[in-house]
A = this chain, B = another copy of it.
Amino acid sequence: MKVGLIGLGKMGLNLGQNLLDHHHEVVAFDVNPSAVEEMKKFGAVGVSSYKELVQSLEKPRIIWIMVQHAVVDLVVGEIKPFLDKGDIVIEAGNSHYKESIQRYNELKEFGVRFMDAGTSGGMEGARNGACYVIGGDPDAWEIVQPIFKDTAVENGFLYAGKAGSGHFLKMVHNGIEYAMMAAIGEGFEVLEKSEFDYDYEKVARVWNNGSVIRSWLMELTENAFSKDSKLDEIKGIMHSSGEGKWTVETALNLQTATPVITMSLLMRYRSLENDTFTGKVVAALRNEFGGHAVVKK
């Protein structure tokens, strides 16, 4: 198929190659001309404007947007004037599902079909086989299914239902991911504080062979310990990019008790600080009623 690809960062460049591998035609655009040049080397047709990109495609057009979450609206705004009824816009970044629903509705007014695709598997996945969950209209899905199937790992794609369902599913995926990572981390912290002297790389390896907790995250744990056996070189600061927070916020809106996912998020926030005001208040209170010594700065 012929696909218009907008956004040629690390993810987009890898996906473009993946599409080309599977004999799809790629018309590529990025605001950075050198990225377009790079994409052309792999066989893509490069264009120099949003307008040109849209006009280089046949109706119904298929346009795959692979840009930072913050600029999705800008990109959609740029291409919208040139789109025609029946065109399909795929947004495969990490947008909030409510924004995707909104975009779906906005484009629907023009007869343009918007699809929200949650993409998992990292750069390696984008290049050689990703995992997709996709929301949008079933008739649009019929058309675009081949390009998802071709660029995913086997069984690594799911049409999840109506608009928003793809990004919702990806959001929850990341919520689970946060908690699983914390579970592994906490387990190793207990080991680290114990009276025993474990080789963590070997522990992760044995846990990946036959145990109940074998998982890709545990394999990555094994990799990480193979490079730095006690993780002495890094700090335990846990940043987050938003989907875990969205999961918790959504759970609150749905009145769903998700303590495990929620605590994994809160401990990420806690890790961003050296000291806490909560701690100061509690320490001060202990001093007030019990005369317990406080630690002065």
Interchain CB contact under 8 A, B155 and A172: no
Write the A99-110 contact mask toward B (1 if CB under 8 angstroms, else 0). 000000000000
| Cα A209 to Cα B175 with chains together (Å) | 18
Which residue on B lies nearest to A266, using beta carbons? B257
Known: A260-B186, A275-B236, A277-B192. A123 touches B213 (CB 8 A): no
Interface 9-residue window, one of A19-27, A48-56, A74-82, A279-287: A279-287
Within 8 A of B (CB), among A262-297: 262-292, 294-297
Taking CB atoms, residues of chain B closer than 8 Å to A187 are 172-173, 175-176, 247, 261
Q: Is A72 interfacial (CB-CB < 8 Å)?
A: no
| Cα A158 to Cα B224 with chains together (Å) | 19
Which residue on B lies nearest to A287, using beta carbons? B224
Q: A152-B210, A173-B213, A256-B269 are in contact. List 10 more A-B contacts (CB 8 A).
A: A132-B206, A133-B203, A168-B191, A168-B194, A174-B212, A181-B285, A188-B278, A189-B276, A213-B216, A221-B284
